[in-house]
Structure 1
Amino acid sequence: MKKLLFLLLLGTATVSFAQNAEKKGPPPGKALVGDTYGAKVSAKAKAISTKDLQEKVKKNGKAENVVVKATVTEVCPNKGCWLTLQTDNNERFFVKMKDYAFFVPTALKGKNIILEGTAEEKTLSVEEAKHYAEDAKKTQAEIDAITEPQKEIRFMASGIRVVK
């Protein structure tokens, strides 16, 4: 009787684990105006442009508790755990979610957002840059072209809100 109960519990746990393992990928959603991901971003917060943020980071090395308005250019297709933003000078502006606490749907691509958090300049190793290129489903030629560390502004978002 104990063996039967043990096997039943083991089978239930295996099925549950398999179902949770299938839930990979970004969260579903259409990323409609007003949708919020992570912590709530204040509607009254004054958002700055990516250009102003870049100037602030280059001047001070870091920008804390800042709100930025931008357009999303890419979303991690694997989990929705990072995104990139369009900048005025076509530099890479990379956003990760604070403490890996939330994810965003791929439908966020092309949408205008405001995001709140901290930004700093960071140097990516070749391995890390290649990893993100693989996540973004870049071609092998694009991945192989990454041969040097890359500087970028890294934004750690505590919250994101879709806006017009």
Structure 2
Amino acid sequence: MKALYSFIILLLITAAVHAQPPNVPADKGATFGAKTTPEDAITVDQLASVMKSREGKKTEVKLKGTVTSVCESMGCWIKIRSADGDMMVKMKDHSFFVPLALNGKEVVVDGIAEAKETSVEELKDYAKDAGKSKEEVDAIKAPKMELTITAKGVLVL
């Protein structure tokens, strides 16, 4: 029984160590996830037009934009500045993470864009991950229709 408890404690410690954003610089040219290039990258405004023409269906894109926030707990998502509010970018299958130092940087995100409804529960989780106060989290009462991207790779410009 002692061995089982020791194993569980070791497993929890390992999970806690790995559940943090990478502590690496976000210098120009740094890539997180799959390698990508800035060629053919479109702006957030152009993405909105593309998605309207495709009626919100999943679309492969390279998006150029400025990071406004990074998931503080793991680095598993970022938000990109948009005229309609910040756009959510999640790292595909949690297969890679980005550093907090990415905040404020211009990046190219290579991935799949789609229009979807984000549930209240998800919105609250994102707010908690972003370090929002309990009051701000509790104020979230309705789902949100938004453009999101599932990133395969992120390049710092």
Shift in Å, 1:144 = 1.7
Secondary structure of 1:33's counterpart equals coil
Shift in Å, 1:16 = 5.4
Shift in Å, 1:13 = 5.5
Q: Residues of 2 paired with 1:42 and 1:162: CA distance? A: 10
Q: Normalising by the residue count of structure 1, what TM-score does the alignment of the two structures yield?
A: 0.84
Find the structure with the greater CA-based Rg: 1
Q: Normalising by the residue count of structure 2, what TM-score does the alignment of the two structures yield?
A: 0.88
Alpha-carbon distance change, 57 to 137 in structure 1, aligned in 2, over 3 angstroms: same
- In the alignment, which of 58, 68, 75 is matched to residue 80 of structure 1? 75
**Cα offsets for 1:8-49 (capped at 9, x unmatched):** x87996785465234131011110001000000035x21100
Percent of aligned pairs sharing the same letter: 40
Matched, 1:140 2:137: no
**Cα offsets for 1:93-140 (capped at 9, x unmatched):** 000011211000000000010011110111111111111111111122
Q: Residues of 2 paired with 1:138 and 1:46: CA distance? A: 35
* 2:87 alignment counterpart: 93
Note the residue ranges of structure 2 that are not aligned, 5 or more in a row: none
* 1:41 alignment counterpart: 36
Alpha-carbon distance change, 147 to 15 in structure 1, aligned in 2, over 3 angstroms: closer
* 2:106 alignment counterpart: 112
Q: Residues of 2 paired with 1:127 and 1:99: CA distance? A: 19
Secondary structure of 1:62's counterpart equals coil
Across the two proteins, how many residue pairs are aligned to each other? 155
- In the alignment, which of 44, 53, 70 is matched to residue 50 of structure 1? 44
